[in-house]
Amino acid sequence: MKILAIIGSPRGMQGNTGRLLDEVLSGVREAGAEIEILSLKSLNVQPCVACDMCHKDGICNIKDDYETIKDKLLACDGFILASPNYIFSVSAQMKALFDRCNGLIHCMALEGKYAAMVETSGGGEDEEVLAYMSRFVNTLGANSVGGIGSAVAGVRTFSDEENLYTKARTLGKKLCQSITDKQAYPDQDGFRAAFRLRISGLVDFMQEYWPFEREYWKKKRMNAGM
């Protein structure tokens, strides 16, 4: 089982988010999965330029590390997104990656995969950021197994750290268990079904302007017997 962890902190694994992610990864390791960590601070992921090439031919035109990350997302069984709270949202590094995933989102290309989220903040709104990340996961077609977030208590410390770390390791194990069991998350089905209708309808509407996505949905519907 392959788990890909993507961290969007400019402090990489050395910061608060990295420390919490590390605990989630301990749980993943205990479950026996193979881990790859991608730290966006050391990778080049430029902002989307809205050229529409991903919709037209399935490949992004920008020559940076995005296509490699995309291939790793497509190849993994599960992934973890980890970001600090930057102004009630994810860091710019993580947001750039989210935007570049627009083509994957239009295809809901990560259907059948599972994801967990990790967030840290200076003072709160952890649930708000986790909910945003979870929605991103669902737009990719994937299942969100849950997230863990915490405000920092002081310099590089969390309040009730022992309890937080136990929950983090449990989340890592839950991610792997969900993959093994092909766990259903029915509470997310409504959003995904509505999004599927909306996005496949948009692709139909764009017809020959977005040929890659049109073909993708044609095959997807055929495989689903629709």
| Binding stretches for ligand FMN (CB under 6 A) | 9, 11, 15-18, 84-88, 120-125, 152
Q: What is the DSSP string of 77-90?
A: SEEEEEEE-BTTB-
For residues 156 and 221, which CB has a smaller minimum distance to ligand FMN in the complex? 156
What is residue 118's three-state secondary structure? strand
For residues 91 and 200, which CB has a smaller minimum distance to ligand FMN in the complex? 91
How far the first Cα of the chain sits from its last, in Å, is 30
> Which residues are CB-contacts of 23 (< 8 A; sequence separation ≥ 6)?
164, 165, 168, 169, 172
| Six-digit token string for 102 | 């627009």
User: Rounded distance, CA 133 to CA 118, Å?
Assistant: 9
For residues 90 and 108, which CB has a smaller minimum distance to ligand FMN in the complex? 90
Residue at shortest CB range from ligand FMN? 15
Q: Least distance from C-beta 86 to ligand FMN, angstroms?
A: 4
Query: Please, where are the H alpha helices in the chain?
Result: 16-30, 53-57, 66-75, 92-100, 102-107, 126-139, 161-181, 189-206, 211-223
Q: Least distance from C-beta 20 to ligand FMN, angstroms?
A: 8
Q: Least distance from C-beta 126 to ligand FMN, angstroms?
A: 8
| Six-digit token string for 176 | 């792997």
For residues 158 and 212, which CB has a smaller minimum distance to ligand FMN in the complex? 158
Contact (Cβ atoms closer than 8 angstroms) between residue 56 and residue 102 = no
119, β-bridge pairs? 83, 149
For residues 6 and 203, which CB has a smaller minimum distance to ligand FMN in the complex? 6
Q: Least distance from C-beta 175 to ligand FMN, angstroms?
A: 20
| Six-digit token string for 32 | 């026996």
For residues 15 and 103, which CB has a smaller minimum distance to ligand FMN in the complex? 15
Q: Least distance from C-beta 123 to ligand FMN, angstroms?
A: 4
Q: Least distance from C-beta 125 to ligand FMN, angstroms?
A: 6
